[in-house]
Structure 1
Amino acid sequence: MRPTTPCGQPDLVSIVVPFFNEADGIQLFHQTLRPILDSQPQVRFEVICVDDGSQDHTLEQLLALSGLDGRFRVIELSRNFGKEAALTAGIDMASGEAVIPIDADLQDPPELIAALLAEWRRGFDVVLARRVDRTADSFLKRTTASLFYKVHNQISTIQVPQDVGDYRLMSRNAIEALKQLPENQRFMKGLFAWIGFRSTTIDYVRHTRASGKTKFSGWRLWNFAIDGITSFSTAPLKVWTYIGGAGAVLSLCYASFIVLRTLILGVDVPGFASLLVAILFLGSLQLISIGVLGEYIGRIYLESKQRPTYIVRQRYGVADES
């Protein structure tokens, strides 16, 4: 069983919510979340709302919401750093004994919070929320997501649970372990999986987006997938050793064939088309391999700068821990 909180105080649970241009859905988010929080009188809640450089009225509405409901606290970042950075900022600011990241679009149902807390009280450090029905997502998104999980888990030693997003519960022990990971280019699903800890899974049906539209275009999802693979696997680098070795063997075999044919049949005029194809094919392979090297070198370059993952412009209702 999980240790009890000292002095008989109710457990403090932090809910971390990144926001980026979500002004149209903030009121609905609050209306949906408030009764769920009220239904857990044995728990104290803080809702860390991270404004990730929104360009609409998201910040103003979050501040108004914070004034109406003291459980809502607002972190304003200096610009748009991306969801992974905003999520990191919220987790860093959270002071609860458990932390629950959730999106503001209500695709991941807040009604699951009670079940997450129940499993946490049973002694689990991490409670995963797994999507068993993703019909709310497009066919292309479901297909590419499934392909990504399969490829990532095949080539990486860290297994990212399939159909599990950021929505989960993490104990304070897990959060403190996560905060020790210093990298700037963050693939949070992989970092969540890397820290380990005793975990369990709860299944749920993913809802349609309550308002607004997704901020992840196909191009951003592609780059996100590359970040995920290069963050936890060097297989893309290793594979070119085998491709180069196979090419060398094939080249040696073909050279031997040419020598034997010349000795038996005499000199033959080489075909221009076959020569051109061979040059273009090998040149393309070299460019691809350089591109893969570039991805890893680029990550090294960015990490070597040691820039902060995010910069906070202002905190509203959150105590400064510095």
Structure 2
Amino acid sequence: MDGVKKISLVIPCYNEEKNITRTLDGILEVFKSSSILAKYDFEVIAVDDGSKDATWAQIVEYAKKDNHIHGVRLMGNFGQSCGYQAGFDASTGEYVITVSADLEIPLENLAKVVELLEQGYDFVNTNRKNRWGGEKKAKSGMANKIISRVSGVCMQDRGSGMKGFSRVLVDNLKFYGDMHRFIPDYLTVYRAKMTEFDVEFKDRDFGVSAYKGSQVFWFYRSSYYRLWFLGNCVSYCAKTVGVQYWG
């Protein structure tokens, strides 16, 4: 599609056999039904992070049927940061957007992410409203406040699965370890222009989330010192090993 911009969607997956097919179907549908998204070419890069179920088989099956869909298979469970990096390395779009495999955020929000990227933002974050209640919400909110104070970046939801990136950021990013938890803070190294908007949150229908409010809080509280070393992250080259591609 000469002259048409491309959007790359990166979906990290771990044991998502009951969710990934609905997510892929939803993406194919929203790019047909949305007047904004229909103007773009797109590719879907589903990254299987060492799943023990039929996630990879589902991805391969879809890649055979639709040339928009591609699969990347890691040879073990390396974590979300490695999954993001593998997807970014395989992407070719002018814009790259991460999507959760469990449809926690309605796919209709992809259009607004693209609109904001078109307005010149380098990074677009989404804030999942009403995702937790009571104690979990308080702990998650406190964790974000701790990190915001340390890094100087005011973002309400660092853990949201839908995030948009400009190509220039993706070409220079190198995620490793737990960097996916600090993406907005990491991007200050690049003087990235960032924004955030609210989205509806929907609990997953199948499977169990790997992260709980209390776990997130204690992780951030115990590891916020890592942000002080973000300057060194730029020169760190993390290589993903043991990768299998499909499509």
Q: Which bin holds the TM-score, normalised by the shorter protein?
A: 0.7 to 0.9
Tell me which residue corresponds to 2:126.
129
Q: Verify the 8 A CA contact 1:15 1:47 in the aligned structure 2.
A: yes
Q: Verify the 8 A CA contact 1:23 1:57 in the aligned structure 2.
A: yes
Q: Verify the 8 A CA contact 2:81 2:176 in the aligned structure 1.
A: no
Distance, in Å, in 2 between the alignment partners of 1:88 and 1:42 is: 27
TM-score (norm 2): 0.84
Q: 1:213 aligns with which of 201, 208, 214?
A: 208
Tell me which residue corresponds to 1:178.
173
- Structure 1 gap ranges (5+): 1-6, 235-302, 318-322
Q: Whose RCO is larger (CA < 8 A, sep 6+)?
A: 2
Distance 1:172 1:29, change over 3 A: same
Which AA in structure 2 matches 1:80? N
Tell me which residue corresponds to 2:145.
150
Distance 1:101 1:160, change over 3 A: farther
Higher helix share: 1
Which AA in structure 2 matches 1:72? I
What secondary structure does 2:18 align onto? helix
| Aligned 1:104-115 pairs, distance under 5 A | 104-115=101-112
Distance 1:223 1:56, change over 3 A: farther
Q: 1:28 aligns with which of 19, 22, 45?
A: 22
Distance, in Å, in 2 between the alignment partners of 1:200 and 1:102 is: 17
Distance 1:76 1:209, change over 3 A: same
Tell me which residue corresponds to 2:134.
139
The percentage of aligned residue pairs carrying the same residue is 24
Q: Determine whether 1:16 maps to 2:14.
A: no
Distance 1:194 1:82, change over 3 A: closer
Tell me the number of residue pairs that the alignment of Structure 1 and Structure 2 aligns. Answer: 236
| Aligned 1:128-277 pairs, distance under 5 A | 128-131=125-128, 133-134=129-130, 136-137=131-132, 139-154=134-149, 156-159=150-153, 161-164=155-158, 165-179=160-174, 184-195=176-187, 196-216=191-211, 221=216, 224-225=219-220, 228-233=223-228
- Structure 2 gap ranges (5+): none
Write out the 4+ residue segments of structure 1 that deviate beyond 6 Å after TM superposition.
none
Distance, in Å, in 2 between the alignment partners of 1:76 and 1:227 is: 31
Give how far 1:201 is off.
2.5
Distance 1:88 1:140, change over 3 A: farther
Query: 1:18-50 deviations in whole A, cap 9, x for unaligned?
Result: 000000112221222211122333211111100
Query: 1:133-172 deviations in whole A, cap 9, x for unaligned?
Result: 22x4353432221111122222x13425112424221111
Tell me which residue corresponds to 2:39.
42
Distance 1:8 1:76, change over 3 A: closer
Tell me which residue corresponds to 1:284.
none
Q: Determine whether 1:76 maps to 2:64.
A: no
Give how far 1:308 is off.
4.7
Q: Verify the 8 A CA contact 2:73 2:244 in the aligned structure 1.
A: yes
Q: Verify the 8 A CA contact 1:32 1:110 in the aligned structure 2.
A: yes
Distance, in Å, in 1 between the alignment partners of 2:44 and 2:72 is: 11
Give how far 1:97 is off.
0.4
Give how far 1:199 is off.
2.5
Distance 1:128 1:187, change over 3 A: same
**Higher gyration radius (CA):** 1
Q: Verify the 8 A CA contact 2:72 2:244 in the aligned structure 1.
A: yes
Distance, in Å, in 2 between the alignment partners of 1:157 and 1:14 is: 28
